[in-house]
Amino acid sequence: MYPASFEYVAPATLEEALETLGRYGDDAKVLAGGQSLIPLMKLRFAAPRVLVDINRLPGLDTLVEEDGLRIGALVRHKTCERSEVLGGRWGTLGAAAPLISDPIIRNLGTVAGSLAHADPQGDWGSALLAMDAEVVARGPDGTRTIPLRELFQGPFDTSLEPTEIITEVRVPDPGPVAGGTYLKLERKVGDFATVGVAVHLSMDDGRVGRAGIALTAVGPTNLRATAAEEALAGRELTDDAIGEAARLAAEAAQPHSDTRGSADYKRTVVRVFTERGLRTVREGIR
Ligand SMILES: Cc1cc2nc3c(=O)[nH]c(=O)nc-3n(C[C@H](O)[C@H](O)[C@H](O)COP(=O)(O)OP(=O)(O)OC[C@H]3O[C@@H](n4cnc5c(N)ncnc54)[C@H](O)[C@@H]3O)c2cc1C
């Protein structure tokens, strides 16, 4: 199907983009990689009057380790996949990047666009939740930061105003001894997750300082497995501690049965992936 007709604006500055969004409010949509918005428009699930293409805005394509990690709004999945920065302490993100869809989507889709789209099956949502990330949003009243746990309100629903643009994703520094991974079950390469589990650990003197565990495709949003995280904090990464965290992560999942699998099956995958992810991180940190 063809999208409904719309006006296309390609501003040269952020101020111009914000001014256009302010003028049209709910009738306008930001266009980044277009990998979610354009399909929705073609299916007529979305019919914005105006598209504000941010691809020409300067300075938004930087992926840099600086006071933590900063991921500009135009950083593509591909850039993350190829980045040498996203190993080691940022391993959760490095593991997630190549698992997002296929190379064509990864060439164009952006990390920030994925978060703004708030698909509970999105992989970045979990990887970045596990790492306590936040987005920086510019709007008519200035700039604010929104932690991801407050950004995701429900399926495809965020706390962003229609007049706001995410300019950057910020991930706090996880400390010197840290690591993580992302595991995804998909029916075939390029598919959305049946289940995904993001794991991140910051270690402190041989014990877990901070644990981040987040789940994909088993709830109305990407979910934090908070009880599992708390159960690990302050403990050594023994098999018992890992097993308990995996059980608690499975309890936190809210899966539904569908064509990808039964709710029980998905819950079991969460437990197995959490355990596997934590063991992998333990090996990496050693
Ligand atoms: C066939 C297919 C398979 C896919 N598989 C996966 C997968 O396995 N895993 C996965 O995680 N994703 C998958 N995706 C989604 C893909 O990752 C998208 O690229 C991503 O969800 C959206 O990023 P985008 O830059 O393309 O955003 P767009 O499509 O341009 O925009 C998406 C939404 O976010 C808003 N938006 C975008 N950027 C901003 C911004 N800076 N500030 C404010 N609002 C903004 C737009 O207005 C729109 O509402 C798939 C998509 C397709 C079509």
Query: How do residues 25-61 score in pLDDT, each as one tens digit?
Result: 999 999 999 999 999 999 999 999 999 999 999 999 9
Give the global pTM.
Answer: 0.97
Q: Report the distance separating Cα 25 and Cα 19, nearest Å.
A: 10
234 Cβ neighbours under 8 A, 6+ residues apart: 207, 208
- List the residue whose alpha carbon is closest to atom 2 of ligand 1: 101
Nearest atom (ligand 1) to Cα of 167: 41
The string of pLDDT tens digits covering residues 191-241 is 999 999 999 999 999 999 999 999 999 999 999 999 999 999 999 999 999
Residues 88, 122 contacting (CB under 8 angstroms): no
Ligand 1 nearest atom to the CA of residue 125, by list position:
11
Q: Check the CA dihedral 7-8-11-15 and report its sign.
A: positive
Q: Is the C-beta atom of 79 inside 6 A of ligand 1?
A: no
pLDDT band for position 285 (cuts 50, 70, 90): confident
3-state secondary structure of 34: coil
Task: Give the chain's length.
Answer: 286
